[in-house]
Amino acid sequence: MFCNKMRSRIKSVLQQWDEYIDSNAEAALKVTTVIKRILESPVTDILTAVIPGEADDLLRKRLIMALDYAITALQARDNCATCEDVSSKLQCMVEQLKQLPEDKKDALLQKLASLMTYSMDGRRLKQNLYDLYVQAKYVLNKQQQ
């Protein structure tokens, strides 16, 4: 009963957000879902696996820029900060994520999706609002699986 009320309340809050944020969050969560799969079975070209070459060019460019921003923001003070391009940053991040427990992986992937959404949305709102939105969307998607 409590879960159903909470789920309805979360859906109500999410419906108040505009469609643009929703599509950005959806794209970011798809990227982090692929990253999570890569953690379980490595791929040679991670960036192509995460953002396929057949994706719309503009969307692909925005996703890569957002991914670069998010990885840099999350890893500003660790050994991946010296990586030059987004592909090597992503490879480094995946290697670090492999060493973490599942709950920390999920938390970092949610934050990555939130930072990507923030970047793709032009940083219109405060970061904590994107955190809230992405986390709620992640929880709803997980419950539906």
- How many residues belong to the chain? 145
Q: Are 93 and 75 in contact (CB under 8 A)?
A: yes
14 assigned to some structural domain:
no
Measured distance CA(131)–CA(137) in Å, rounded: 10
Residue 95 is given by DSSP the state: H
Residue 84 is given by DSSP the state: -
Q: Residue 86 belongs to what domain range? A: 25-144
First to last CA, the chain: 19
What's the pLDDT band for 118 if we cut at 50, 70, 90? very high
Which of 42-46, 48-52, 78-82, 97-101 shows the lowest per-residue confidence on average (mean pLDDT)?
42-46
89 assigned to some structural domain:
yes
16 assigned to some structural domain:
no
12 assigned to some structural domain:
no
Structurally, the chain folds into a number of domains equal to 1
Predicted confidence (pLDDT) per residue in 22-55, tens digit? 888 888 888 888 888 887 766 557 777 777 766 6
5 assigned to some structural domain:
no
Question: What integer pLDDT is reported at residue 130 of this predicted model?
Answer: 92
Report residue 119 as tokens. 């970047």
82 assigned to some structural domain:
yes
Measured distance CA(120)–CA(112) in Å, rounded: 12
Residue with tokens 């492999």: 98
7 assigned to some structural domain:
no
Question: What integer pLDDT is reported at residue 113 of this predicted model?
Answer: 93
9 assigned to some structural domain:
no
